[in-house]
Amino acid sequence: MTMTNEQAVWFAETFEKLVANVGKAVLGKEHVIRLTFTAMLAEGHVLFEDAPGTGKTSLARALAATVQGSHNRIQFTPDLLPSDVTGVTIYDQKTQKFEFHKGPVFNNIVLADEINRASPKTQSALLEVMEESRVTVDGTTYEAGRPFMVLATQNPIEQAGTYRLPEAQLDRFLIKTSIGYPDHASTVRLLGGANLKDRSKELTPLITTQAVADMADLAATTHVDTAVLEYISRLCEETRNASETRLGVSVRGALAMVRAAKVWAAGQGRNFVLPDDIKELAPVVWTHRLVMDPEAEFSGATPEVVLSRVLGDVAAPQQRATA
């Protein structure tokens, strides 16, 4: 069953209200907020590569406040253990039974701050829950619930003492982007409200977490024409065949694009995906999935340059991909 025109209009109106509400706490960052909600409704995760103090924690709090969800922040450090993330089973002497104490991943919005400062073993504790929204501890599986989204951050500077995220984990992030510093006008507004330490507390919840799950299910019914699917496949193949890359976009990356494009199209009031949606989302959905050849990278090649060339070389379908 494909989303109707009326449902697409409702989806877009609700999407705009959600973005505007978070925008009251995270000033001047509408595009980033839009991308983050796209990831949430596509049931994916976001990796922010940003300098400290750009509003990542504020964004997580504002998202949770808007959808009446829970949130938690994990400060990743070298001594952080996997059980500090997922939870631990403890023996209760009174009941003489083992009880599972849930970790911070059992929230709707989880901010994994400076994820690259934790050991690979601790980083990998997030793999199962990011992919399947569940955690397995001592042979027992626990569901994380819906919506569930990880907002991970890594500092692009001060790389000493950090552990680079492996390609397998990078591939599990639907979107990689940055918030960046606010523009002049937004900065002035922020400074004028310096007494408000947490603007998210001023936000009024708009929908429930169940409504978010329903919106995600509705977005999944957005129509994607076969021509657009073929276009996505050709783009992925070209990234794999590029001389500058060792690994191109994976099948998981192609599926991620389809999910993200469905939400992006519905957020604009359409019940069908256009090739332009793919072009607009490609930099944030695919760039971090490209593994560059060391020699090409040394010569100055970047994933952004490769992807830009591929988008220019592969012809997009001309027809209007309507439902």
Shortest CA distance to 290 belongs to which of 303, 276, 305, 302? 303
**pLDDT tens-digit series, residues 83-117:** 999 998 888 888 888 888 899 999 999 999 988 88
Pull the structure tokens for residue 239: 């990234």
Interval 5-29 mean pLDDT? 93
Give me the residue spans of the domains in the chain: 29-206
Query: Is the pLDDT at 200 greater than 80, yes or no?
Result: no
Radius of gyration in angstroms for the set of CA atoms belonging to the chain, rounded to a whole number: 20
| Angstrom distances, CA of residue 90 to CA of 74, 138, 142, 144, 180 | 21, 11, 16, 19, 42
Q: CATH classification of 29-206 is 3.40.50.300, yes or no?
A: yes
Q: What is the pLDDT of residue 320?
A: 58
What is the structure's pLDDT at 111?
93
Average pLDDT over residues 217-235: 96
What's residue 289's pLDDT? 92
Mean pLDDT over residues 221-232, rounded? 96
Partnered with residue 292 across adjacent β-strands are 245
pLDDT digits (tens, 9 = 90+) for 268-296: 999 999 999 999 999 999 999 999 888 88
- Name the average pLDDT for the chain: 89
Over residues 21-26, the mean pLDDT reads: 90
The dihedral sign for the CA sequence 314, 316, 318, 323: positive
Judged by average pLDDT, the poorest of 47-56, 229-238, 308-317 is: 47-56
pLDDT at residue 322 tops 60: no
Overall average pLDDT of the 160-178 stretch: 82
**Rounded Cα distance, 92 and 172, in Å:** 36
More confident of the two residues 233 and 89? 233
Q: In this predicted structure, what is the pLDDT of residue 201?
A: 79
Q: Cα(309)–Cα(288) distance, rounded to whole angstroms?
A: 16
% pLDDT > 90, the chain: 54
**Whether the predicted pLDDT of 198 surpasses 80:** no
Q: How far apart are CA 266 and CA 145, in angstroms?
A: 23
The mean-pLDDT minimum among 153-167, 213-227, 285-299 falls in 153-167
Whether 137 contacts 118, CB under 8 Å = no
CA angle 155, 160, 165 (to 5 degrees): 55
